[in-house]
């Protein structure tokens, strides 16, 4: 990992609780940097503590972009994130941009581009959802095969969400989802000097950090954040409603879980998420330099 400030873009990926935000803050202070959120859940407002966003103090120390900028009661997509990143790159031109987060798809889209699939109206998605809700696994595969055999051939399992998306895209645009995905794509970093880092923390250390962090969240405002989100009567299928901690704290609030079980289940879910992140980084970022910020 270099520290001469020469790179105009730095990418810091890593599993949850691996110390990404602290490293990004330190690097931004040394390089006149701007930190750009590359985490799909930290984009939402209301859930600052639950999603482990940088603190208000950290955000005053150096500029942070795309944190808490989207209402938690709305949907947000990778395509919209890329559009917002374009605005950041234009507005902060000339400064070192430090992209930090754990959402592998965001990094992949930033580097390799992302299919420009039009936004699907919520009413169309709901209509398709109602049409397919009685289908079993074989029925879902047959339905996808009928409209987009290329997509069907790529999926080992056709789950309801993937089927809804494919059918809705075809209904709105008249084109298959695979035709959008197979179109030539260009990332946003062509011609840019890019430094890449994947944080790789020893597994037992990470497990301990995850447990201690969520216990602290539960005591320091996570419950109040979930209460504030639920008070807005959000659609239970919204992405923010699936943020780790929200289902578990919601279950505690409605008395279907004890506080101990809510914390335990949230910690287990976080461990499982970190494992999926590590698998993504190993498979898709195998050539990125590894760094353990907690080893010293």
Report the pLDDT averaged over residues 1-10: 62
Helix (H) or strand (E) holding 93: none
CATH code at 9-115+186-199+287-291: 3.40.50.300
Is residue 296 marked as binding? no
Give the confidence band of 181 by pLDDT, cuts at 50, 70, 90: confident
Domain range summary for the chain, segments of one domain joined by +: 9-115+186-199+287-291, 122-181, 203-275
Is residue 5 marked as binding? no
What is the per-residue pLDDT across 56-96, written as a single tens digit (0 to 9) for each?
999 999 999 999 999 999 989 898 999 999 999 999 999 99
- The helix/strand/coil state of 35 is strand
Give the confidence band of 148 by pLDDT, cuts at 50, 70, 90: very high
Is residue 216 marked as binding? no
Count CB atoms within 10 A of the CB of residue 30.
Answer: 12
The Cα-based distances of 21 to 64, 197, 239 in angstroms read 11, 13, 22
Report the pLDDT averaged over residues 194-217: 95
Report the C-alpha gap between 160 and 166 in whole angstroms. Answer: 10
**Sign for the pseudo-dihedral over CA of 40, 45, 46, 50:** positive
Q: What is the pLDDT of residue 98?
A: 98
> 173: closest CA among 129, 118, 125?
118
Q: Is 60 exposed, middle or buried (0-12, 13-18, 19+ CB in 10 A)?
A: exposed
Angle at 45 between CA 77 and CA 262, to 5 degrees: 95
Q: Is 256 exposed, middle or buried (0-12, 13-18, 19+ CB in 10 A)?
A: exposed
What does R_g of the chain's alpha carbons equal in angstroms?
20
Question: Selecting from 3.40.50.150, 3.40.50.2300, 1.10.20.140, 2.30.42.10, what CATH number does the domain 122-181 have?
Answer: 1.10.20.140
Architecture in CATH of 203-275? Orthogonal Bundle (1.10)
Percent of the chain residues topping a pLDDT of 70: 97
Is residue 184 marked as binding? no
Q: What is the pLDDT of residue 6?
A: 43
95 — alpha (psi -120 to 50), left (phi > 0) or beta? Answer: beta
Is the pTM here over 0.95, yes or no?
no
Is residue 21 marked as binding? yes
Helix (H) or strand (E) holding 153: helix 149-154
Give the confidence band of 114 by pLDDT, cuts at 50, 70, 90: confident
Q: What is the pLDDT of residue 7?
A: 52
Report the C-alpha gap between 115 and 103 in whole angstroms. Answer: 17
Is residue 14 marked as binding? yes
Q: What is the pLDDT of residue 5?
A: 46
Sorted by sequence, the CB contacts under 8 Å of residue 50 that are 6+ apart come out as: 217, 222, 225, 226, 243, 244, 245, 246, 249
Is residue 20 marked as binding? yes
């Amino acid at each position: 990992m270099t520290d001469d400030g020469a790179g105009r873009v730095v990418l810091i990926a890593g599993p949850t609780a691996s110390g990404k935000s602290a490293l990004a803050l330190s690097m931004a202070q040394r390089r006149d940097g701007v930190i750009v959120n590359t985490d799909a859940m930290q984009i939402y407002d209301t859930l600052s503590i639950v999603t482990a966003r940088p603190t208000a103090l950290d955000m005053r120390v150096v500029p942070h972009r795309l944190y808490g900028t989207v209402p938690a009661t709305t949907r947000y997509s990778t395509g919209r994130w890329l559009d917002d990143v374009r605005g950041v790159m234009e507005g902060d031109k000339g400064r070192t941009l430090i992209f930090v987060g754990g959402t592998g798809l965001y990094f992949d889209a930033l580097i390799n581009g992302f299919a420009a699939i039009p936004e699907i109206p919520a009413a169309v998605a709901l209509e398709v959802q109602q049409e397919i809700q009685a289908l079993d696994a074989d029925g879902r595969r047959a339905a996808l095969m009928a409209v987009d055999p290329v997509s069907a051939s790529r999926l080992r399992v056709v789950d309801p969400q993937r089927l809804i998306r494919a059918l809705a895209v075809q209904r709105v645009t008249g084109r298959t989802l695979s035709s959008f995905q197979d179109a030539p794509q260009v990332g946003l970093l062509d011609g840019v000097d890019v430094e890449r880092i994947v944080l790789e923390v020893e597994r037992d250390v990470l497990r301990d950090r995850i447990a201690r962090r969520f216990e602290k969240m539960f005591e320091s405002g996570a419950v109040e954040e979930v209460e504030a989100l639920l008070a807005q009567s959000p659609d239970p299928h919204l992405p923010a409603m699936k943020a780790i901690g929200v289902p578990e704290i919601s279950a505690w609030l409605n008395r279907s879980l004890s506080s101990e079980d809510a914390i335990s289940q949230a910690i287990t879910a976080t461990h499982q998420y970190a494992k999926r992140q590590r698998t993504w980084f190993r498979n898709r970022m195998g050539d990125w330099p590894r760094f353990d910020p907690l080893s010293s």
